[in-house]
Chain A
Amino acid sequence: MRNAPTDPGPLIPRNRAAHPVAYDPDYKTSVSRSPKWPLLSMESTITEETGPVFGHGLLGPLDNNLILNFTQGEAPAVGERIRVHGRVLDETGRPVPNTLVEIWQANAGGRYRHIKDTYFAPLDPNFGGCGRTITDDDGAYEFMTIRPGAYPWPNRANDWRPMHIHYSIFGSGFGQRLISQMYFQGDPLIDLCPIAHTIKDRGQLDRLVAPLDMAGSRPMDYLAYQFDIVLRGRRQTMFENKPEGM
């Protein structure tokens, strides 16, 4: 029964057409890592409707400042200073408050601080490349960081990733879990990127491109980009007290 006051409601079924295809030969690694069988589609259960809750106490004061957090404020990272901000909403338009947002990215030269990244662009001794924050009551979040560089990657003979920031968002239920990437307005490499184009609906891909937000920038300090995120919503109705139909 869903008359328990704590029942947040079932998740709205995922619209898979809004997402990338699993198998895309232009993104070669997906060929051997994409399931061939259809997914088993079912109504969500309590397993997917609940999820971990992270409190604001988790956060250190520099967690959402990638310019400073690798050196704990000792020395700033190299690169074009930017502020990236937005809101996390769900499909019903409600804000998603108190949810963890994690990001990671390459440095200004397009190099990740990762053992597997062998690109010869130099590491920045002052840049780690990850940050995290928790949305406020309106679902709003913000990060200070540097604009990541584009980088080449082994796929087709000369593929380059557009400038991007990787995002991980939790929501309030494990079934809302989402990892995605933010791109930057005006980057010509977006049109050439096979990873971006695993999303076949151009309107959906455009939703990953953050516009320049001059009003959110600060003169003589940083530019701003706005990146809003929409997670799966929940069905909230009085008419939920019948057994699940097949």
Chain B
Amino acid sequence: MTQTLRRLTETPSQTAGPYVHIGCIPTFAGNPGIYPEDLGLRAIEDGALGEPITITGAVYDGTGWALRDAMLESWQADAAGLYPGQPGADPNVNGFCRFAADKDSGDYALSTIKPGRTRLRDGREQAPHIAVWITARGINIGLLTRIYFDDEDNSADPVLSRIEQRPRADTLIARKTGEGRYRFDIRLQGDNETVFLDM
């Protein structure tokens, strides 16, 4: 016999299901009036420092069909690489945003500022990136990934460097399509399946 370990086990996940919108973004879902506005409507407020950007993309299933029912959340640092809550962080950067695939096209759009480089405990730098968490019907536990940018130096990023199959790292890199505009598609399965993170 041993002592009993004083640890609890995490509550198991379940799918967000097809109706996640009425719980998390009820105004978007057509049920306004319960809250003044949906949570996480804006990643930034007026006056946020940095380069304004819009990232557009879609979430594709294994058949190449764009999900119309996905809900996404993003979390990012400010232009100086500080997360909201850290001393000196830009008060106009909320960092968090919630957005959904369009019910007709499947496209999502995230308007924000480009985040700065962030630092790990050991001093290494992470290239600018936005964490993204994807939920939908058929996804049993939310999928975590990151958006990096093709016009940044990503060569020393600790996460990208850990991807053993180098071509797969490209699945985390948004492509610039115009001034302040990027495209980032997420593939749940199949050719060019996105790298999902367990961190």
Contacts and interface: CB of A to CB of B under 8 A. Distances in A.
Query: Interface size for chain A: under 10, 10 to 19, 20 to 34, or 35 or more residues?
Result: 35 or more
Contact of A128 (B6, B22, B67, B87): B22
Interface in B68-105: 69, 73, 75, 77, 83-87, 94-96, 103
Contact of B131 (A47, A128, A168): A47
A79 interface: no
B146 to A, nearest CB: 8
A22 B6 CA distance: 29
Given A42-B159, A52-B40, A52-B84, A27 B138 contact: yes
Given A20-B140, A29-B138, A198-B14, A114 B188 contact: no
Q: Which of A37, A47, A232: most chain B CB closer than 10 A?
A: A47
A21 interface: yes
A129 B6 contact: no
The size class of the interface chain B forms with chain A is 35 or more
B199 interface: yes
Interface string B2-28: 000011111111111111111110100
Contacts of A204: 9, 12
Contact of A52 (B16, B95, B193, B198): B95
Interface string A85-96: 000011111000
B85 A50 contact: yes
Interface class of chain A by DSSP: loop
Contacts of A46: 83, 118-120, 126
Given A33-B67, A52-B75, 12 more contacts: A24-B140, A27-B15, A30-B138, A33-B139, A41-B199, A42-B197, A50-B86, A63-B35, A72-B33, A89-B8, A174-B131, A180-B14
Interface of B: 6-24, 26, 29-31, 33-36, 39-40, 61-63, 65, 67, 69, 73, 75, 77, 83-87, 94-96, 103, 118-124, 126, 129, 131, 133, 135-144, 146, 158-159, 162-163, 168, 188-190, 193-199
Interface of A: 1-2, 6-7, 11, 13-16, 18-22, 24, 27, 29-37, 39-48, 50-54, 58, 60, 63, 69-70, 72, 89-93, 100, 102-104, 112-117, 128-130, 132, 166, 168, 174-175, 177-181, 195-196, 198-199, 201, 204-205, 207-208, 229-233, 240, 242-244
28 contacts: A6-B87, A14-B10, A19-B12, A27-B140, A30-B138, A31-B62, A32-B62, A35-B143, A37-B196, A39-B198, A46-B120, A50-B86, A52-B84, A60-B35, A63-B35, A70-B34, A91-B9, A91-B10, A93-B6, A112-B19, A116-B19, A177-B73, A178-B10, A178-B11, A178-B142, A180-B12, A205-B12, A230-B9
For the complex of A and B, 4 pairs with smallest distance between CB atoms: A104-B23, A29-B138, A52-B96, A33-B138
